[in-house]
Structure formats: structure tokens, C-alpha cells
Chains A and B, each alone.
Chain A
Amino acid sequence: MENGIKKVLEITVSDNRGKIEKRSRVVREGLFDWPSENPSLVGARCKKCKEVFFPKRFICPICFQEDTLEEIHLSRKGKLYTFCILERGPMGFDPPYAVGYIDLPEGVRIYSILTEADMKKLEIGMEMELVIESIRKTSDGEEIIGYKFKPVL
């Protein structure tokens, strides 16, 4: 894991005028801790109704009151609820890759890219674990860092 972090953090290169150019960025700030040695997804819990949300929200849609949400770190492991495998991908993505939904113990069912795209190795109900890594590269070579779930073997 540590090596993985180092690899991503070191993807900064100099352009021909010696200026340091950032060559990677997270897909959206605030979705997960990064950089971190033990990253997790960041959600919110309502202090009043105890409902958990991912990602963080502005306001609890159930209680509709100010200041009831607190930031929480979500479990790194969950169960695969459903999945599919893209053999043709949208611009910027390199198929085949799988996406699906993961049930986390906090009661959220969340969208995620999966590290495994072999149908034979994916099964509804299997245990999955969070990883933070590059999800794609932009046309000018910038790595986009996002979250994925991988099967726990």
C-alpha cells in the first residue's frame, strides 16, 4: 500500500522551463482522505436522525435543519450488491472495466469502479475492500485519482 501512495505522490514532473507541474489530482476534493496511509471514504452522519450519507451533504434531507451533520469516515469493507462490465467505455476510459454498487455497514449503497473486470471473479454478496488509485488519464496525461473497490480474497 505504502508503495502505491508513493507512486501516485511522485507523479509530478518538470516541464521544459523547469517549472513543477502537478500531474495528478483527485477526482473531487473531500470524497476520501488523500494522501493517507489508511484512506477511507468521507461521509456525513446526522446527529439527530443518525442517517449516514456519502458523499457529505449540505443538509440532512430528512431533518432539514442546520448543523446536524457531522463528518464520518466510512468502513473500508463492504459487500457487492450488483455489478456490470463495460466492454465499450466513454471518452477517457479504457475498457474493459467493471462498476457496481457496494453496501457499507453504515447503511449506504454506493457506486464504485471495481478493480476486477473478470466476470468469473465477481459475485453478488462477496466482500469488497476500498482502494485509492488512478482511475483514468486525461488527454494531456494527468492522472485522475479516485476510489475503487477490490474483491477480498
Chain B
Amino acid sequence: MILVYTEINKGKVKKASLEAINYGAKIAELTNSTVTAIAINADAPQIEEMGKAGAKKIVSIKNDALNSNDSMLLSATVEQIANAEGAKIIVFSFDITGKAVAPRLSARLKAGLVAGAVDYPTINGNNLEVKKSVFSGKATALYSINSEIKIISILPNSFPVKLGDNAATVVEFTADLSNVNSKIVFKEKKSNDVGGMIPLPEAELVVSAGRGMKGPENWGMIEELAKELRATTACSRPVADMHWRPHHEHVGQTGVAIRPNLYIAIGISGAIQHLAGVNGSKTIVVINSDKEAPFFKSADYGILGDAFTIVPKLVEAIKKFKANQN
């Protein structure tokens, strides 16, 4: 049985969680097994969607304490389910929760972990072999997991989501958290104001701008382009460091690493540390006024020229395209 950890966000099953269930289903196929998904504080439609993604069984837990993002409580819950179900392979998304819970579980269950898988695993005797991205996207490494229990967390946006018509059986589970000695006390939560945009790690379309924009007052056209495309905005590191844009928009080696379908880089030179966080994007468009800008060497499409005239034209072209689509 393949155990998959899922999360609900803003009333929906996270896309990253659907990817993880699909991925689990693929391993189930390879190992002649089935997928059991863990659903935390999920309602009936959400559980139904997990079934459609390929879960045969859903272990449903209702416990408000688990809404706190405390990885100690979450990990104890998953550990109890893994033991009760006899899970040998556990799948997470390599997202913020997955990065906190999967490693703790690895330590608790003595389970080898590959964090950030970019491909489906293959089976080699008792071992699983799976590729993960290393050196900030500059290479991949083929890992072998040699322990009895194995954990894989998958890089978001690396696997397509497919929904079928499978329906899962649901069982209720109560985790005993009385022995979990967490001392974390929650004070306040602030949500990043992204104006209804999809968060960067999950975004399929990203519009990003750099120091070439000259100042924060010029971001209006960047936001407009993003709005037309229903894309999420990002920026280079100096732009975040100078507080032209919020820190959560900073992409690159020391910021968020993303792999959207489309990355549009405007007034960004393409320094190696910037590329490290974005070169997994499927298609890259670069708009830059310097024909020597290194980014053109890592782009699929380029426009040489002044962003201040090109971006408004691009907005118009997209509007026209959308009008023709309808």
C-alpha cells in the first residue's frame, strides 16, 4: 500500500496533493498495490476529489489541532497511520509542509527519504530508484532508497494532474496526540497579499521583473501583464532586497525555486544564481534591452528592446489573443 499525505488549502485539495496522489497511483501500478490517502479536516467533496485522483482508500482525520501547521503534530499523525496501515512507501509533496513533516517522519520510522523527486521511481530488487534535482537545478541525481520503509516527496509542478472516475472508501481515524510534547504556541498569521494570485510554487504562469524596471513605481505594467495572463508575479533578488517588491516574490538560488510552464523575465540579466531557481521552467521568454544579457542564452523566446514600450504592447497582444479565443 502506498500512503499519500494531502492538504486542503482555501477550501480545495491542494494541486500539489493531487499530484502526489497521482504519483502514488503510478507507484501502486508498478508495485501491484493501491493508494491510501490521508485527509486532514477534509469535507465530502474534497475527499471525492482525492478518490478521482486515484486514492482507493481515504483515512479521514478530524482534529482542529492539526490546523496549526505544527510539524510535530502532523508527523505524529502520519506516523500512527503509517503504522496502522503497514505503509512501506509514503509520498508527500515537496512543499512547505512536506519539507517539515517528511524528514521528521524519516527520522522516526528509519525510512530513507528522497526530497524533491522529479521523475517516477523504478524498482530495483528491494530498493526504489528515483531522480531528484540537485545543485539548484543544474543537474539531477539518481538516488537509491535502501531502507525497508521509503519516503518520496515530489517537486511541485513536475507531474500533470489527472482525474478519473475512481471512488474511494473512507475510514475515520483518530490520532492520539497526547504524548506529543509540542511547545509551539501560535500568536498570529499574516497572509501574503497576492491579490487572489496562485502562490508562486504552484503557479503555472509567472511574470517576473528585475532591476531593469528602474523602480517600484514602474511595476504597474508588470502587474497588468500578470493579470491578463492570470499569472503570478515574481522578481529578482536585488528587487526584493531594495524592498521594491515583497520578499516572497524573490526567485532563484537563495529565493523560491519554481518550475512553471511559462516564465517571462523582464529586465533581469540572468545571473547564474537567478537561473538556478527558474531554469526548470518549461518555456522561458526574456525581454531585455541588452543583446549581451546572459539570460538570452537560457531562453526559448527573446525580445530585444525597452521593457517600457514592449510590456504594454505585450499586454495589448494578449488582450487581442484572448478576445479571438472567445
Chains A and B bind each other: no
A residues bordering B, Cβ < 8 Å? none
